[in-house]
Amino acid sequence: MPIIEFVENTIRNVEKNSVYTQHFGVIDVVRRQIIRTMATGHYQFAILRKFNYFFLMLFMLFSHAVFGVAIKQSFQTSIATNTIKGKSKVYKSNLPKSAIKISDPGEGTIWTVSEAAKIKWTTANIDATKSIRFFLAKDDMVVQELGSFKNNSLAEGIALAKNVGSGDQYQVVGIELFPDDKYRIAKHVTSYFSIRNPVADARKEAALAK
């Protein structure tokens, strides 16, 4: 039985004007006040909750409109700024373009590790007082720096490292040093050529024979 019905039934069964009746009367008054207050509070809370939902929806719509415009303007400004910056970074040079072309080694060339190697090249718009740096590469990776030489079209007496193995995928890379135009550096990569290392090959064969 609910507690409210129990109190009401108890009040009916007690003699009127008795001490118990008076006490139950006070309890009944308090009970009714509590119920009335709770009902009013729930009603007010429901109204407040509906008002909060309504206010929240208005705030979200307003925020969406305001921030949407702000983001759009910021995005357009960013595009314009990047476009301006991109145009400002366009580099124009009045200097003639420099160039390097390596003629030796070339396709069909065979270097031997025990013998001195040589490099021949030609240049355009690079002063003879400038220098060219050369590298030995295999499979697109540098395996040895061959040295820096004055731009006189020939470098001789180049010693190859003893750990350079035999192979047919070698290239020489030439790069202009201290160019007049730092944004357009002359460079050239030869076609593939071969290198032989008889000592390393013999050592490898002996190791495999054991």
Strands 167-176 and 187-189: antiparallel
Tell me the whole-structure pTM to 2 decimals.
0.56
| Nearest 10 degrees: Cα torsion 191, 197, 198, 200 | -140
Going from N- to C-terminal start, the domains of the chain cover 3-87, 99-209
Query: Using one digit for the tens of pLDDT, what is the confidence trace for 25-61?
Result: 544 554 555 455 555 554 454 554 555 555 556 656 6
Query: Using one digit for the tens of pLDDT, what is the confidence trace for 156-189?
Result: 999 999 999 999 999 999 999 999 998 899 999 9
What gap in Å lies between CA 179 and CA 172, rounded to an integer? 20
What gap in Å lies between CA 33 and CA 30, rounded to an integer? 5
Query: What CATH number should be reported for the domain whose range is 99-209?
Result: 2.60.40.10
Query: Using one digit for the tens of pLDDT, what is the confidence trace for 61-119?
Result: 655 554 455 545 555 555 555 544 454 455 567 889 999 999 999 999 999 999 999 99
